[in-house]
Structure 1
Amino acid sequence: MNIWLDERIRLINSSELLPTYNIGKIFKIDSGHLSINQCLRALNCIVDKHWIFRTRLKFDVKCGILYQSIDQTIHYPVRVSTIKNDEQQKILLDKEMWTPFDTEHNGVFRCHFIRYDHGDNKDDLSIGDLLVFYFHHGSFDGRAIDIFLDEFKLAYKGVELQSPCLQYIDYSVHERKLAMTEARTYWHDLLQDYDWDRQLDLGQTKKQISACRSGRGELLRFSIPSSIAHSMIYYINQFNVTLFQLGLTCYYIFLNQLSYHNRDVCIGLIHLNRYRPEIVSMIGMFANILPCRIVNIDLDKLSFIELLYKVQKSFLQNIQHTYLPYEELINLHRKPSSYLQFPYLQTLFSVDTTIIDYTNMDNIMVTDTCSLSTYKRKEKDISIGYKFDLDFSFAYDKHAGSIDCVWAYMSDVFQLETIEQHANRFNQLLTQLFGSNHIEQLQIPLNEIIILDKNQTNNDNHVDKKHI
């Protein structure tokens, strides 16, 4: 419900829907070939098995209620396009990216086969051809798409898919019946004195007079120097914390130093929320957004280690109450005036390990002779799908031991130059914290080791940018 409203009220352009909640997964054939008809039979098996693929959402204007129904027939949009060159391919991919879902009539899933002209065989997908799948994020999370690909491989080989004991709609009904008094009390107490219209100082360069956003944005990526990254990995093992908790602590320090106003801050976190064995392999939308509140930390007195454990404690308390849906969590706190308010969460932090996850691997074997790889579009070609003013993440490759910082920002709010300055300052902060490689450095008050001048650019610590 919250995503459906967000899509139609906050993330909108001239009364037209934007494809902000589209999730695209594109696969390229690296070897062998696939049959389009056999692909469709495999997809039909998956759509028949999982009702969520046949979900329709309709809003009753008179009653003010959003209804969810399940179409009994196997129906989803399918396109097959034959192209002659890469430019035609790019045009088709852009069109797919910019086409929002009509969740009332066409559901929450669609596919598109983009093939080069192979002569008379119109059923053949060969090397260089693409399988394009799009999902609506209101019904699918990242884990669900991994499960989808697993089942597609099995169904293509003719393996009969086992009927599930539970469907996602069963979970939704169960969720509404859960005893959530404890969770409601926790979130109410945590957020009750956090102003509902509080706006963080993120160094915005474009003044915002409303909550509406276009969903357009850009990415700036830079690599953390290997010596700093190795120190960070060493310390998370030394302190028995996670990279997420360490990164969240560093991000809070950065926001605090950016503005004194940010001493009391809610940072958005994403939790997978698959907390029971029955739903681990279920296709649906389980991920939940949580506001992690870090309040009035005195950096003049605390050491980094002390702050790290405070942040860890706050995070661990949060995840004990993740089952309360974000929509209800916010409704405990939001003033009952209008949905058109500034977004409660302006910034998000996450650690992304998808670089080594299943759907980002090369050499995905569909048959003994056909392999796929994830087709990665250039970041400059992806300008839609931004949901937060500032989305900051670590991209962690465990095998290489490398960490990239990714700044995803709304073009409505920031200019590139501002984000470049943020990236430089954050890189400087990491160098001040972890550059000496001495644990004693992290045991003294933070104000003795952190120097972050908003007007200063440190050329020696300039980031290694990958802005494409």
Structure 2
Amino acid sequence: MERELIGVWQELLGVDDLGPEEDFFFRGGHSLLAIRSTIRLKERLGVDIPYPVVAAHPTARALAAWIHETGAQSAEAAGKEPAGLSHWDRGRPAPLSPAQEQIWILQQLHPDSSSYHFQALVHFDGDLAVPALAAALNGVVERHEVFRTSVHLGADGAPVQRVHPHDPYVLPLTDLSTLADDERADALRELTGKLLAERFDLERPPLVRWHLVRLGADAHVLLHVEHHLIHDGWSYNLFLGELAEGYRRAVAGREQAAATHTFDFLDVAVWQRERLESGELDGQLAYWRDRFSAPPAPLELPADRPRPAVPSFEGRALRFTLDAELSAGLRQFARGRGVSLYLALFSGWLAHLNRLTGQRDLCVGSSLANRVLPETQRMIGMIVNNLPMRVAVDPGLPFTDLLAATRATLVGAAEHPDVPFHRILAATQSSRDVSRNAFFQVSFGFHDAPLASLALPGVRMAVTEGISNGSAKFDMNIVVVPRLEQSIGAAHGEHGDSITLVWEYATDLFDEATVERFAAEYRQLLRWVVQHPETPLKECAVEAGPGTVAETIVAIWSELLHQPVIGPEDDFFALGGDSMLAIRTAARLGERLGVQVPALEVLRHPTVRELAARIAELGDAAGRVPDAGAAVLR
């Protein structure tokens, strides 16, 4: 068994010298590769190994011992193999998947909310061939049925979905290139706000919208908005990869690729529904019922305002990029401890929540990709399952103990991954408080799904995902976007190695300054635990105020210019900036600092030091900008 495990891991890691005692994660493995290894092992050996078991036994020798000790065997041999996927008749309405049903219920309860919309901006710098982009989009729509699916009430009152024939999507184009810089930025902001505010009619496909904006001869931005009924993070990265490949085909004069998958999302939705309704998942449900027989107390974060009786679901989102030194330190720490980056960051977040609330019994929502079937690896659809992760945090113990406790929780969840959250609630008969989400009020996501090469001929393609549409699903929802971990199939370093945090928060409860403080303290805590993993958590003294203007500038430049390290005297133009990027910089500065920064000021003050000083002057006039940030300008 050891030899077979080593063979599979070497294939995935691209090495030929892996030893039986070498750590899979230390040699470059991460959660995506671990999941792929479990799929490959099942295909070759007929052995079912949940991903967290790999995380807990990261050497071939340890994992082989686990297989031997637990008597793990082929699910088929054990009589547990679920029925495989079968083709659903597309002429008949199909049930929603359990995850889709959960989202549909929430949408019906809050019909005017856009909380379950996803939106992103795709930036194209260079000579974009608009017809080729439109052809690529239509290729994706034709290959994947979710982009041609509608949702209706069935005859029995339950929601159903229908797949429709491909109707060519006409890509709208708005030309703002003739406007002055300031006017263009305002017009783009107004257009984006209008498009984000539009609701979807679930009975009229597609449940996605694209709108292209021309900012200049060599600058375009594609606004992408879709309903979570057809979306998860893994799917979006697949979409981006297929969009890029379709564009390359179109500009080369080649036909768009035909669908190669045997099954599509509708077949998975029916399969998941049948497993749930047949009682096949009763054993998994029993695990969750036991886990939450006594529900956790609500998480009481220090808020700026009392919680309203009924949430408005209004919110905002801030973006923070961890600096290069901290990012490298976290990755090195995770490899050295034989854990994933996700586990290290999630455990750090739990430690931070304990500091903020004083509570020890913590429950945080987090998502499992749920793509254990080989057929789902290249499938676009809503497959992810968001589950309650309950961890006991003892501040008298070191971070290494918290890592172990968190890993045990994730192992348990991944061994029982298929029960939808609303079924867990029903099974535990938990009383509902309509002022807050049940079980967890904070969610933590880690988007390390594979992102293929986005290299285009003559065009640079970059993505800003998770932009705010003015809503919030939870009190706080933190999404980590680790570019290096997404880079399977892309050229080394193409996507960079930054770690970005998208921090969505409910404006019913929190002011922006409070969230900035939480984020700054989280970064400080991460630095501390990396340096003191064996020291009791209660000894961590974190004193971090809101990020300075200079820190904000550095973070924005790092995002837009794809530069992991930026110094106070680095020149915006020398780093690759141009007038279009200056406009985007000004827009983001306005969003994060609450002060209008004309794009012309970015052009006139091209270093971090100069621009921070100028914004401080503008802020003095407005009376609301923090210190320019001498600490980072030394």
On whether the aligned pair clears a TM of 0.5, the verdict is: yes
Q: Select 1:277's aligned residue among 356, 369, 374.
A: 374
Work out whether 1:218 is the aligned partner of 2:301: no
Moved more, 397-406 or 385-394: 397-406
**Alignment partner, residue 420 of structure 2:** 325
Maintained 8 Å contact 1:271/1:289: yes
Q: Is the 8 A contact 2:116 2:227 kept in 1?
A: yes
C-alpha change, 1:77 and 1:332, in structure 2 (3 Å) is farther
| Residues in 1 aligned to 2:116 and 2:170: alpha-carbon distance in whole angstroms | 17
**What amino acid maps onto 1:190 in structure 2?**
R
Correspondence 1:443 to 2:545: no
Identity %: 21
> Does residue 382 of the first structure (1) align with residue 464 of the second (2)?
no
TM-score normalized by the length of structure 1? 0.79
Alignment partner, residue 51 of structure 1: 145
1:351-410 per-residue CA deviation (whole Å, 9 max, x = no partner) reads: 3458x9448x5xx31xxx452513549x9x835243221123445454676545553312
Higher strand content, 1 or 2 = 1
Change (3 A) 1:75 1:417: same
Matched-pair contact (CA < 8 Å) for 1:218–1:411: no
Match of 1:426 in 2: 522
- Residues 1:186 and 1:77: Cα distance change in structure 2 (over 3 Å): farther
In structure 2, relative to structure 1, the CA distance for the partners of 1:79 and 1:230 (3 Å cut) is closer
Match of 1:207 in 2: 306
Distance 1:341 1:107, change over 3 A: farther
Cα contact 1:9–1:212 (8 A) shared by 2? no
Q: Following TM superposition, by how much is the alpha carbon of 1:193 offset from its aligned partner in structure 2, in angstroms? A: 0.7
CA separation of 1:337/1:191 partners in 2, compared to 1, >3 Å: closer, same or farther?
Answer: closer
Q: Structure 2 length normalisation: TM-score?
A: 0.60
Is the partner of 1:188 in helix, strand or coil? helix
The CA deviation at 1:268 is 1.0
The CA distance in 2 between the partners of 1:40 and 1:414, in whole Å, is: 41
Shift of 1:203: 1.0
Q: Structure 1 counterpart of 2:416, which letter?
A: H
- 8 Å contact 2:197–2:469 — kept in the other structure? no
1:34 alignment counterpart: 129
Cα 1:425–1:40 shift into 2, 3 Å: closer
Partner of 1:250: 348
Give the match for residue 293 of structure 2.
192
Residue type of the partner of 1:192? Answer: S
Change (3 A) 1:75 1:190: farther
Task: Measure how far apart 1:429 and its partner are.
Answer: 2.9
Equivalent residue, structure 1, for 2:478:
392
Q: Which amino acid aligns with 2:308?
A: I
Q: Distance in 2 between matches of 1:31 and 1:404?
A: 25
Q: Any stretches of 5+ residues in structure 2 without a counterpart? A: 1-100, 485-492, 556-591, 594-634
Return closer, same or farther for 1:170/1:311 CA change in 2, 3 Å cut-off.
Answer: same
Structure 1 or 2: more helix by fraction: 2
Alignment pair present for 1:97 and 2:196: yes
Structure 1 residue runs without a partner (length 5+) = 118-125
Maintained 8 Å contact 2:234/2:447: no
Question: Is it true that 1:416 corresponds to 2:515 in the alignment?
Answer: no
2:255 aligned with 1:144, yes or no?
A: no
Give the conservation status (yes or no) of the 8 Å contact 2:444–2:478: yes
How many residues are aligned here? Answer: 427
Match status 1:127 vs 2:218: yes
Contact 1:236 1:246 in 2 (8 A): yes
Q: 1:328 to 1:357 in 2, by over 3 A?
A: same
Supply the distance in 2 between the matched residues of 1:214 and 1:82 (Cα, whole angstroms).
33
Answer whether contact 2:102 2:420 (CA < 8 A) is retained. Answer: no
- Relative contact order (C-alpha < 8 Å, sep 6+): which is higher? 1
* 409-418 or 156-165, which deviates more: 156-165
- 1:243–1:351 contact (8 Å) kept in structure 2: no
Distance in 2 of aligned mates of 1:397 and 1:450: 29
Pairing of 1:257-296 with structure 2 (within 5 A) = 257-260=355-358, 262-295=359-392
CA distance in 2, matches of 1:309, 1:175: 31
Shift of 1:284: 0.8
- Cα 1:50/1:402, change in 2 over 3 Å: closer
RMSD of aligned alpha carbons? 3.4
One-letter amino acid of the structure 2 residue matched with residue 133 of structure 1: H
Who is 2:209 aligned against?
110
Partner of 1:373: 461
